[in-house]
Amino acid sequence: MPPTPRPLRIALVLLLPALVALAGCSTPDPGAAGAPANATSLPKFYDAKALLDAVGDRERADGGALTVLNGTLDPPGTGTVEAGAPTPPGRRAVTGDGVLRFADGAVSTRFDQRLGPAGAAPRTTGAVRTAGRTWLRLPGAPGWSEVGRAQVAQPDLADATLATNIAGMADPLAGVTRYADAALVAEAQDESLGDVATVRYTIVVDLVRAAAAETDPTLRAQLTQQVAGGLTRISSTVWVDRDQRPVRGRLRQELPGAGTLDLVTDYRSWGTPVTVAPPT
């Protein structure tokens, strides 16, 4: 008997559950004490809100960029896999490419996601997110389905969950910008990506403070539940160039029913004219 379709109501995981130790923060002055002194060092922010504001201003000024996805999805229950450890059974490669658009105070994206075991033909899922709504074109489906309204068969749930969450986290700092007042810069380190000089920032959010300040009852309940479960801090890692453009972002998170995602997104060609519209 074929699997019974179910409503496409995918949980959107807005936060990145990666624990890190908090470090001290200083002022946002790029020349503040603690910044590396060598001549090749880029200016840095040591205040999270100043950094988020600077990156957000640059994203809106540029308007759009191209994106490239590379990562892995491990089966549910795998947990954290240390570098150099054997590849977990059931690991699937995640790749893709698309576009990102910032306009009218909102972020929109469209991309093709490819998911499958290494060396095998991947399953391709199309995704569009704009104006707070998400549509998916699932593998083998004849057209587009809107998340929360359409039906999805059991074999497509991992593809749908993955694409929905990648779409929701298209902005590399989406998981921490909402809680800027509860965030701090835990690390600001010079790092070259190819021939591009960047600063690798680790930004940490104190979930206790974030929950106390949250005005949305649903999100406040989610944050309170995470704190009660022992998750008191979340982090996001982003690589930013000299002009405060994101060059790369990395997220690691547990996606309910899909598995553990470890994804690197590269951002290219900032300023490229980009349009993202609901699919027809």
* pLDDT of res. 24: 27
**pTM summary value:** 0.82
Tokens of 174: 């989406």
Q: pLDDT tens-digit profile of 173-204?
A: 887 888 999 999 999 999 999 999 999 999 99
Greatest CA span in the chain, whole angstroms?
Answer: 67
* pLDDT of res. 27: 28
Tokens of 157: 């749930």
Distances (CA, A) of 160 to 125, 167, 252, 264: 8, 11, 18, 19
> What is 48-268's CATH topology?
outer membrane lipoprotein receptor (LolB), chain A (2.50.20)
What residue ranges of the chain have pLDDT lower than 50?
Answer: 11-39
Report domain extents, the chain: 48-268
* pLDDT of res. 258: 86
